[in-house]
Structure 1
């Protein structure tokens, strides 16, 4: 346990940040899962709506430094590719 007042505050702040980051990562996983589920079911309309939401969530997570910006870009790219293949098929 921290012995100094500033260290105690820092610990409290780190716990809050940890909770925020954990929640954001969960949102990211759920959004990606929604797109993949819609693609696997073959529902193009639902997949495109889910892709829009997932893109927004991934961009926010990257902006807040919860995930790396290249990781977010890669996920958006791969999800978009899957949705586009579904539309063209």
Structure 2
């Protein structure tokens, strides 16, 4: 596994031509939007989402500058990844499994 990449490497820089073209675009005329009917959702294409339906985010990686123990081999390392409920080093991580 290679070194960490900067997020800047994934961003597409906007050229001066693109920013000038964006500045030159005139705003569209404001149009009147009719409100949705009573008891009817404003956007019928989007299903309603209940907050209980959303699965909370889980960590997949941990870093400790003082080092921590790999739960599989016992080696002290700075970087560890989640695997089967424990944190393991890069050598012990099974990258084929989700």
TM-score bracket, normalised by the shorter chain, equals under 0.3
Judging by fraction of residues, say which structure has more strand: 2
Judging by fraction of residues, say which structure has more helix: 1
TM-score by length of 1: 0.27
* Structure with greater Cα Rg: 2
TM-score by length of 2: 0.26
* Higher RCO structure (Cα 8 Å, ≥6 apart): 1
